[in-house]
Amino acid sequence: MQLTGQNFVVLGAGQGIGENTVHALAQGGARVLCVDLDEGRASAVAKAARGIACVADISTRAGVEKIFATAKREFDGRLDGIVDVVGIGVGKTLNTLDDQSWQHQFDMVVGHAFLALQLGTPLLARGGSVVLVGSMAGEWPRGGTLLAYASAKAALHHLARSAAQELAPQGIRVNVVAPGLTRTPRLLDANDEAFWQAQAAEIPLSRAGTPADIANAILFLSSPMAAHITGVVLAVDGGANIGMLRPIAKSARAS
């Protein structure tokens, strides 16, 4: 898991999964460009991890161009990994979604990932990696207020698989970490402890994930330990994708 001497860019580094990812990469020996729209958050995580702060709007081409121009300058043109954590739900149903909200949802989940792949991968050394943070919502049908979010995450997963195929001849790997329910700052603010206990009862490992759980998976896929892994969507959901495993009370008998 050693990343000594390697250079990484983390988009959405300011809190939660992004912040934990910066620390995981730094503890492995990597130097990290910590990107966030909030200057205070970018500076705080960069200082704590001895990285480099970068304030940029990842939803625009100009913003992403700024990020990788900064990475090229700070890292002398050599980049070993990109991690994109950004992705927020708009929280509208099929009947309440308007064109602007639908487009905004895809911009906030898929648009910046496309830009990071297009603008960032030319800097990656052979053996470099891209890890996109998707969601198990992108693997399962999700209606209601998650409809647009789930659709965008499904598109993100497909983008990653397709990019993995295209970039493999260059020795560049592209993978997805797909969290299940995770105790991110945003979700902790929105839900009480009763919610978390009720949800934990439906998860085979009996708890929601933590940002550190997701960061550990990102670290693995970013490291030489995953050198022969590309085009994978790795579920980090406590087993929720397989459902609760209940023992059979009585063996079936032939009549």
The Cα 240–Cα 233 span in angstroms is 15
Which amino acid, one-letter code, is at 75? F
Return the SS3 of 79.
strand
Within its chain, how far is the Cα of 65 from the centroid? 20
Centre a 10 Å sphere on the Cβ of residue 187 and count the other Cβ atoms it contains. 14
Active-site annotation holder among 8, 68, 75, 149 = 149
CA distances from 56 to 38, 66, 69, 149, 208 (A): 8, 7, 11, 23, 31
User: What is the distance between the alpha carbons of residues 146 and 211, in angstroms, rounded to a whole number?
Assistant: 21
Contact between 11 and 42 (Cβ < 8 Å)? no
d(C-alpha 138, C-alpha 142), whole Å: 8
Q: Is 235 a catalytic residue?
A: no
The residue to which tokens 């064109």 are assigned: 99
CA gap 209, 228 in Å, rounded: 26
What tokens does 8 get? 């990484």
Name the pairing type of β-strands 52-55 and 7-11: unpaired
Which positions are catalytic? 149
